[in-house]
Structure 1
């Protein structure tokens, strides 16, 4: 299921990238970009490509941090469940050991009482 979702995202991303690329190639006129202190003139294609790259980088950075949070949350849940299961297993084993020790004591007492009767 997750593999299909990733494939869908990849195909959708490639389609959007192709549309953007066509748009960029159609817009090659020089434009002035205002950075406040200076206004360089550069072809619109360069501006658009740079903005697409910056947008992709920002999306990737934001997407990665969210995924890490989800993964860490999932791992924490799994660790808690495993710890609970481990503690339950230990408690069950301790109870079984106590029962077996009691059984050994009972059998030893029974054996001692029989040997003293002889």
Structure 2
């Protein structure tokens, strides 16, 4: 369901960008420093759109995590959960003992 929603949102964004590009067809000068070609703004917008999609694609590929890494992370999480749970239990016991001492001192 999440992928379908992302696809619909992506298509709507592409549609808006295409309409925007089609409305901007007058020629513009692009400054590359050492030369200034003139081309229609629609071409510039489409090229920038494609470059943005390429950058997103390249950056997005780094997010995939291998099953071995997932397994190692799950193991590490379980170990940390166990460690912190035992520490919490230890601290709870210390708190209970301190409450007993405090209550016994208060009754004296």
Normalized against structure 1, the TM-score is what? 0.58
Distance 1:80 1:48 in 2: 42
The structure with the largest alpha-carbon Rg is 1
Q: Structure 1 segments of 4 or more deviating over 3 A?
A: 79-82
- TM-score relative to the length of structure 2: 0.63
Q: Deviations over 1:72-104 (max 9, x none)?
A: 2x532326879xxxxxxxxxxxxxxxxxxxxxx
Q: Are positions 1:41 and 2:24 aligned together? A: no
Matching residue within 22, 25, 42 for 1:25: 22
Number of matched pairs: 75
Residue 39 of structure 1 aligns to a residue whose secondary structure is coil
- Which consecutive unaligned segments of at least 5 residues does structure 1 have? 83-118
